[in-house]
Amino acid sequence: MMQKKLLVQVVGALLLLLPWVGPLHAQSRSVSGTVTDASTQDPLPGVSVLVKGTTIGTITDINGKYVLSVPPDVSTLTFSYVSYVTTEQEIGARSVIDVTLEEDTKVLQEVVVTSFGREQKRRELGYAVQEVEGKQLAETVRPNMVDALQGRIAGVQVGSTSGSPGSSSSIIIRGGTSLDGNNQPLFVVDGIPVDNTTLREGYLLNDGANRGGDYSNRIADLDPNDIESVTVLKGPSAAALYGIDAANGAIVITTKKGKAGQMAVNYNNNFRFERITRFPDRLETYNTGVGDSTYNGTLQRWGAPIPAGTQTYDNLENFFQTGFMQTHNLSVSGGSERVNFVLSGNLLDQQGSIPETGYQRKSIRANVGAQLSSKLNVTTSANYLRTDVERASKGDASLLQYALIWPSTDDMRNWQNSNGTLRRVYEDGDDTFDNPYFSVNKNQVGDGTDRLLLNGSVSYDPLSWLNLTGRIGADVYSTFGYTYLDPQSFQSFPNRSQASAVNGLMSEYNIQSHLVNSFLMLNLHKSFGDVSTSLTLGNNLENRTYRVDSWYAEDIQVPGLYSINNTDQNTREIATKGYRRKLVGLFGEFKADYRNLLFLTLTGRNDWSSTLPPQNNSFFYPSVSLGFVFSDAFQIGGPLSFGKVRASFAQVGKDAPAHQTQPALSAFTRTGGGFYVGFYGPNSNIKPETTVSYEAGLELRFFQNRLGIDATYYNVSSRDQIVQPRLSYASGYILQLVNAGEIQNQGVELLVTATPVKKGTFTWDATANFALNRNKVVALPGNFEEFYLSDTWLNGNARAGYVPGQSFYSITGNSFQRNENGELLIGENGYPIEETGFIEIGNRQPDFTLGLTNRLNWKDFTLSFLFDIRKGGDVFNATNRLLTFYGLSERTANRGEMVVFDGVLEDGSRNTQEVPLDQTYYQSSARGYNESLFIEKDINWLRLRDVSLAYQLPSALFSKTFVKSLSINLTGTNLWLWSNYSGGDPDVNGLNASARGSGAIGFDYFSVPPPIAFAAGLRASF
């Protein structure tokens, strides 16, 4: 019912807009024609055809044809197209005007959006950038735009945390630079930094470890249909002017704006069906029980074999449903030579494959630009967004975990007794957990967010060589979240009671986030003979406030009414956490080029951060880059169209977490109140982390740009790491910030673009991006042999740990002892001897990644598809480890067998003792349950990540209507996967996107895999 109502609202809004469009077509004279490429004679779709001096215009269809109604008193048409020279044609008495457009010889000077929303010629840049069109992201029909970037950008690693609606996604560029800090890039929208925070459970009363709860990363609020382009500034050189927040690179998003001379109404929709289909294999041949005998009191499968003919149920297939998602996007845009505008409204409504989960996003956006005079320009935009999520738990005690271990001899759908109480498999057994159907129907987890993005800028040119630009932006949002656990539920909060033991419980929280940025820039440009120069001086003021109020209570007095006032007042707790940060920056950039051939760029920035002690809160960092277009300098002809070498050096800093360098008291949140010594010990000598980057690159274009190669080598060193080692409890504190440790990253990136075929109405464009990164931990704090991330301690003794000389993405844990020859040491009992210390047992770093994008155009059809390839990298299959304990893993199929382990005794003799592989073996961490046995080595994958097919209907079908163009499209995501991984999907993340350091990418602990999805929709212009 809700979906029908939303659809009616969208269609109704569209119908209200149609009268605006009608008068544009009620003109007295018709002009038509075809626009083609001057060199190939191929038709050009999407060419802008405008009546000069008016807002009347149209675009060519897929066959390069156009039809335009013009008033009798106009004389000129203007034809413009990206990468082609704009052409004007006198109308005269003609009714048919065919035009050929010449390719712009300056196409290689195409511009990209870099720091502060400025456009720069690509040939001037001395560092690597890569750009993705917004329409490519929108075509994927993925709710989270970050997921749509995976496989499209060399050196960018995207980690989706779950296939559930509203889940978060992390993104890391060129490996991590911080052992214990944030490694994600800065996101910038139209020149203003915006928030991409994912809620950390440490801000809540439950003080969790980000394992069981997932929360959206805030950049997912943006609708891809509003995005014009995404530019990835990969290294510190590219992002140096943005300061400390861009130490990990920057994702620069440019939103759509109105185009002068055009008035258009655009509507598109998609209807998507999705289903989760990839699950780990299980051994379903044994009954519940222990010791090889059936025991009706446990869900472990160590009982006797299930008798032939026994009724069994596919509980996974029954539980996970076919999800449905619909999107609707409506926009009105246009303008004149002095004013342009765009107004858009977007709706996304998703019902997940997990019952009672969903994600809804609504967005209204307006952007207006005006040239008030020949010297003064202003732009302003506002974007209101509302998201609502009904969530599912992940990891330990999650719906997936319980659905996997539920006995196949019991129908999980029967979750209620006749009296309405929770039905258990064994009322007096050890299955003290919730039936997944009970959880989705009785427990509630969700949140809703209201967000407002504001952006305004003023640009003034008092002189021909002088420009003043001011820009201010605000990102403000409020989130209300909740968790309600039914009085019968066996679930609990971390460090809190089980709901069934306290008559139910509830927790709620409210987030208030404010991020305000302002920039003031003075831009000077002057030429001296063959040398052109420019100088930019500016300042940046940033004020960030993040506050989380949370409350918790037990004993729900009136069933079904979840309110803090409906609980036992003696159980109520309340807490406020958060931070405030102020940042002041002064920056400058000097650029010089010689004959548009040799380009030099120097930058410098000084920041003052409130999170650092006064004596260390000011720090300066420079960058220098050089580019040389040798193909033009030496007038190289033949197949080489363009050739350039580039090199850069940059240094950038990163400040400390807020409020952790000075001693503080913390409030006791339970009844009675009071204060206690805070968590963090003081350190007034903390200074910024420092990252130093060297980069070199080569750009080549051949055969009139039909083939392009962009190769990059980088070497990045990050020292003075800000980490949080544990203190002696005698100090009264738990952790303390210190400067220690160093990480090194180096790697190679290769981007190849090609048009292998361009003949007649058929064009084939292909892009391949290759990335190889090698990182290592050079040094750790003090004499640490291992430094670990406690949140990643998901199951057993395996975690994300750092070991000097080893990879940044190491997995450390328990293993087995070996002698100097690498042979397994066997104990007197005939089993391998456990190594109880934490050593490196895995490396999640892939050998390389490769993305292959193809786009084929033939007549009115467009087919695009993306293959995502990864070679190497280990995965900790903790899901299989727990299934092994329960006797559900296929590893336990050999139970009862007698084996001799290949190894040597401590005296050096060969082992010959036979031992059984029984339940005790598979449930002992010192034997078959040892963590190292569940590190799956060298995991590869080849996946068809995205496929899209579009058909442009012939314009003749609606030439006499108000419809300009109409196309239909089919889209598939995650359609096919080949991998040597034994689990559901190797693209896993054991935590949410708020994880610090190397995070938990490569940790599989009941992570819900991404769904296979099919979508169909249409796109119309009026």
Residues 301 and 293: beta-carbon distance below 8 Å: no
116: which 2 tokens?
């502060």
- pLDDT score recorded for residue 240: 77
CA atoms within 13 A of residue 883's CA, in its CB half-sphere: 30
Q: Which residue type occupies 439?
A: S
Question: What length is written for the chain?
Answer: 1022
Task: For residue 174, give the nearest of 579, 772, 855, 885 by alpha carbon.
Answer: 772
User: Which residue blocks in 105-250 are alpha helix, DSSP H?
Assistant: 134-139, 145-149, 236-239
Instruction: State the span(s) of the chain assigned CATH 2.170.130.10.
Output: 111-258
Taking residues 601-621, what's their average pLDDT? 93
Q: Phi and psi (nearest 5°) for 804?
A: -55, 130
Residues 662 and 602: beta-carbon distance below 8 Å: no
Tokens 């006064």 label which residue? 614
- pLDDT score recorded for residue 102: 85
Statement: residue 654 has pLDDT above 60: yes
Quick: pLDDT tens for 420-476.
889 988 877 666 789 999 999 999 999 999 999 999 999 999 999 999 999 999 999
475: which 2 tokens?
């990102």
- Find the Cα–Cα–Cα–Cα dihedral 416, 422, 426, 432, rounded to 10°: 150
The widest CA-to-CA distance across the chain, in whole angstroms, is: 104
Q: Which residue type occupies 311?
A: Q
Of the two residues 210 and 152, the one the predictor is more confident about is 152
Taking residues 636-662, what's their average pLDDT? 91
Q: Phi and psi (nearest 5°) for 9?
A: -60, -45
Quick: pLDDT tens for 871-929.
999 999 999 999 999 999 999 999 999 999 999 998 999 999 999 999 999 999 999 99
Taking residues 801-823, what's their average pLDDT? 95
- pLDDT score recorded for residue 920: 94
Q: Which fold has domain 28-101?
A: Immunoglobulin-like (2.60.40)
User: Which pLDDT band holds residue 725 (cuts at 50, 70, 90)?
Assistant: confident
Quick: pLDDT tens for 267-300.
999 999 999 999 999 999 999 988 766 666 788 9
Residues 469 and 521: beta-carbon distance below 8 Å: yes
* C-alpha–C-alpha distance, residues 131 and 134, integer Å: 9
CA atoms within 13 A of residue 448's CA, in its CB half-sphere: 5
Quick: pLDDT tens for 468-495.
999 999 999 999 999 999 999 999 887 7
Cα 805 to Cα 699, 979, 1001, distances in angstroms: 33, 29, 20
Statement: residue 237 has pLDDT above 90: no
Strand-pairing partners, residue 63, are none
Q: Which residue type occupies 6?
A: L
- pLDDT score recorded for residue 118: 79
* C-alpha–C-alpha distance, residues 1019 and 950, integer Å: 10
Instruction: State the span(s) of the chain assigned CATH 2.60.40.1120.
Output: 28-101
* C-alpha–C-alpha distance, residues 412 and 258, integer Å: 54
82: which 2 tokens?
């990206």
Task: For residue 1013, give the nearest of 225, 271, 392, 347 by alpha carbon.
Answer: 271
Residues 512 and 478: beta-carbon distance below 8 Å: yes
Mean of per-residue pLDDT scores for the chain:
90
- pLDDT score recorded for residue 726: 75
- pLDDT score recorded for residue 243: 83
Q: Residue 221 contacts by C-beta under 8 Å, 6 or more apart in sequence?
A: 361, 363, 385, 387, 449, 451
Quick: pLDDT tens for 364-419.
999 999 999 999 999 999 999 999 999 998 888 899 999 999 999 999 999 999 98
How is residue 179 annotated by DSSP?
S
User: Which pLDDT band holds residue 530 (cuts at 50, 70, 90)?
Assistant: very high
Dihedral-angle region of residue 963 (phi above 0 means left; psi in -120 to 50 means alpha; beta otherwise):
beta
- pLDDT score recorded for residue 475: 98
Residues 436 and 316: beta-carbon distance below 8 Å: no
Q: Residue 621 contacts by C-beta under 8 Å, 6 or more apart in sequence?
A: 240, 604, 605, 650, 651, 652, 653, 690
Task: For residue 272, give the nearest of 162, 361, 143 by alpha carbon.
Answer: 143
* C-alpha–C-alpha distance, residues 547 and 513, integer Å: 6
Measured on CA atoms in the order 281, 283, 287, 292, is the torsion positive or negative? Answer: negative
- pLDDT score recorded for residue 504: 96
* C-alpha–C-alpha distance, residues 223 and 138, integer Å: 8
Tokens 């060519």 label which residue? 60
Q: Residue 464 contacts by C-beta under 8 Å, 6 or more apart in sequence?
A: none
CATH number, domain 111-258, options 2.60.40.10, 2.170.130.10, 2.30.31.10, 3.20.20.70: 2.170.130.10
Statement: residue 729 has pLDDT above 90: no
* C-alpha–C-alpha distance, residues 490 and 499, integer Å: 6
Residues 641 and 702: beta-carbon distance below 8 Å: yes
Task: For residue 312, give the nearest of 171, 449, 187, 408 by alpha carbon.
Answer: 408
Cα 436 to Cα 346, 404, 643, distances in angstroms: 33, 10, 60
Quick: pLDDT tens for 10-58.
444 433 443 334 333 444 678 999 999 887 788 888 788 888 877 777 8
SS3 assignment, position 316: helix
* C-alpha–C-alpha distance, residues 546 and 562, integer Å: 26
Quick: pLDDT tens for 978-1012.
999 999 999 999 999 999 999 999 999 998 999 99
Tokens 């994300």 label which residue? 800
* C-alpha–C-alpha distance, residues 822 and 834, integer Å: 14
Quick: pLDDT tens for 323-355.
999 999 999 999 888 899 999 999 999 999 999
The alpha-carbon radius of gyration of the chain (Å, integer) is: 31
Taking residues 793-820, what's their average pLDDT? 95
Statement: residue 852 has pLDDT above 60: yes
- pLDDT score recorded for residue 480: 98
Q: Phi and psi (nearest 5°) for 158?
A: -105, 130
* C-alpha–C-alpha distance, residues 664 and 1012, integer Å: 49
Q: Which residue type occupies 633?
A: A
